[in-house]
Structure 1
């Protein structure tokens, strides 16, 4: 018997996380180590997907790690994650990373899209709730998510 899962709003699983950059987060050039930022992005993406699916998840892909701003010691990094698109068992999460200065102004460091897959207790993919897009921006993200999903399929076919 097929069980229908109630849809959720984007806001139901949205997450914001803050990090202070400490000396152990830096690379040899005195900037935040990209791998550290990638790990925080992965954590935020996983939390958003877990909250949406009400299941454990695994990261299947992370798109686009281009660093637009340098991040230095004592900076505040803000990671904002939200659901953008859902399939049957997979979900796309957008995580925006910002560096915040002492005045509270934020500059975009990176935007990443993660593909997360919901898992049942046996580690098998399980159906996820639909996504209710309430705003123009949320609907635009959904449509862009459909295009990104097709691009990912094309890349897999081409062994990209």
Structure 2
């Protein structure tokens, strides 16, 4: 039995841009593409920025799920991280994160598309690293 996932092509990023950088030669894997671990770290940094803004303080990454690498990223691509808060719990925030790239090479300049997406859960913590309650927010 084969399971076929039907993917709708995304035209625009969902969320707010929280981080932007250029993929560099130091970030490549053995195949010459940008290493998935580096992409995931950019997603975590970007999501952490939004989570800290919403929570008004320190946060830690609690869980990463549903990470999907849709397309490879090349050296020189402009990497943009978009994040959107999906829900706020008593001490946690669920954030959807997308990586979009803009091709900067001469042949494909201007192409802009989603390459990765994931769900991250961040937990608000106090100065001792213990979880803390979030204040009621209305920014969703």
TM-score, structure 2 normalization: 0.79
Change (3 A) 1:25 1:84: same
- Greater percentage in strand: 2
Determine if the alignment matches structure 1 residue 108 to structure 2 residue 114.
yes
Give 1:31 shift. Answer: 0.5
User: Any idea what the Cα deviations from partners look like across 1:17-68, whole Å, max 9, x if unmatched?
Assistant: 1111110011011101000001111111111111111111110101122211
How many residue pairs were aligned? 122
Moved beyond 3 Å, runs of 4+: 102-105
- Is the Cα–Cα contact under 8 Å of residues 76 and 103 in structure 2 kept in the other structure? no
Q: Which has the higher helix share?
A: 1
Q: How do 1:127-138 residues align onto structure 2 when only pairs under 5 Å count?
A: 127-132=133-138
List runs of 5+ in structure 2 lacking aligned partners. 1-14
> What's the TM-score, normalizing by structure 1?
0.70
- RMSD over aligned Cα atoms: 1.9
Gaps of 5+ in 1: 1-12, 139-160
Q: How is 1:1-160 mapped onto 2 (pairs within 5 angstroms)? A: 14-102=16-104, 103-132=109-138
| Post-superposition offset of 1:132 | 2.8
